[in-house]
């Protein structure tokens, strides 16, 4: 039992990182129906930005996190403006292929600039652990989980309570009707990319700390897993992405603990297959019929 609880704790911190990435996938899909495959690489860049600011400029954790958010946010907006906006009314497959192209550009540019070798991440958060009954919790886990929860609450507040959040929801339901309200659709889409990408930036620095190492291709697998988390929760649904991320994280940790670490990726894909068979809309996915 105590081992089980321990794994839940470990799973929660990994899962909350997945959830942060999944939010970006789900928000972008919600608003422009694009699976932004470059999103995993934005998160990789977030890790690198924090690596650079801490190693070369002596930033501590929080300033480095803010720097990652800002750089990733701006980059996300630029990518949308340059690569996706001209294709907004093109076929979905064209935009999807472009997203894969952008992903390669980011991965290999980073390899060119930073080198392809694995880099050791600086210890930015104290890794002191403490015991809570039968389980051991490290301060890193506490930080990761707390930061994620705070950001998720902030995101929910932005989406539910602010004018821009309302505009995001309106555009995702009906772009033309939103235009008729005087909403600037381009600005709203940019704002969505800004939010999603800056969350990915935070996920980047947290993963660097969690695994202690980064490399230019680190975005691929967690990116895919976060995407699966978004599908699991119901793509387009923000709470769904949160739940999906946590679920995938816990499932992965459990498999490593009780099965074999060989299957840590396989379990995630198995979950994807199962959800697509049993409930293709995802856990909280909308399956609304239009009223005429």
Taking the least distance from each CB to another protein, the nearer of 177 and 221 is 177
Residue 184 C-beta: closest distance to another protein, Å? 6
The 3-state DSSP class for residue 214 equals strand
Q: What is the DSSP string of 93-138?
A: HHHHHHHHHHHHHHHHHHHHHH-SS-EEPP--S---EEEETTEEEE
Residue 163: CB minimum distance to another protein, A: 7
* Total binding residues toward another protein, as defined by CB under 8 A: 20
* Closest separation in Å from C-beta 183 to another protein: 6
CB of 51 to another protein, least distance (A): 39
End-to-end Cα distance, the chain: 54
Report the residue number, 117 or 290, with the smaller CB distance to another protein: 290
Under rule CB under 8 A, residue 231 binds another protein: no
**Cβ 242 vs Cβ 282: under 8 Å:** no
| Whole-angstrom distance, CA of residue 151 vs CA of residue 43 | 15
The contact mask relative to another protein for 144-183 (x = CB under 8 A, - = no) is: -------------------x--xx-xx--xx-xxxxxxxx
Q: Which residues of 210-227 are buried (b: 16+ CB within 10 A; e: fewer)?
A: beeebbbbbbeebbbbbb
93 or 180: whose CB is closer to another protein?
A: 180
Q: Give contact residues for another protein (rule: CB under 8 A).
A: 163, 166-167, 169-170, 173-174, 176-184, 286, 288, 291-292
């Amino acid at each position: 039992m105590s081992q089980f609880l321990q794994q839940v704790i470990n799973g929660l911190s990994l899962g909350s990182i997945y959830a942060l990435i999944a939010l970006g996938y789900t928000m972008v899909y919600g608003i422009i129906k694009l699976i932004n495959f470059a999103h995993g690489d934005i998160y990789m860049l977030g890790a690198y930005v924090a690596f650079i600011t801490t190693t070369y400029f002596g930033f501590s954790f929080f300033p480095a996190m803010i720097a990652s958010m800002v750089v990733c946010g701006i980059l996300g907006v630029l990518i949308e403006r340059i690569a996706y906006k001209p294709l907004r009314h093109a076929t979905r497959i064209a935009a999807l292929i472009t997203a894969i192209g952008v992903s390669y550009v980011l991965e290999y540019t980073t390899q060119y600039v930073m080198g392809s070798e694995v880099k050791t991440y600086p210890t930015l958060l104290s890794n002191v652990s403490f015991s809570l009954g039968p389980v051991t919790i490290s301060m890193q886990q506490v930080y990761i989980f707390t930061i994620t929860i705070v950001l998720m609450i902030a995101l929910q507040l932005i989406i539910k309570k602010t004018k821009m959040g309302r505009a995001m929801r309106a555009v995702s339901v009906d772009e033309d009707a939103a235009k008729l309200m005087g909403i600037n659709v381009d600005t709203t889409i940019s704002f969505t990319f800004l939010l999603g990408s800056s969350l990915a930036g935070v996920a980047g620095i947290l993963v660097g700390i969690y695994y202690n190492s980064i490399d230019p291709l680190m975005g691929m697998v967690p990116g895919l897993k976060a995407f699966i988390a978004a599908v699991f929760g119901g793509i387009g649904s923000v709470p769904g992405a949160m739940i999906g991320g946590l679920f995938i994280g816990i499932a992965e940790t459990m498999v490593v603990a009780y099965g074999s670490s060989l299957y840590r990726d396989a379990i995630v894909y198995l979950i994807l297959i199962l959800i697509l068979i049993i409930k293709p809309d995802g856990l909280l996915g909308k399956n609304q019929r239009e009223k005429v």
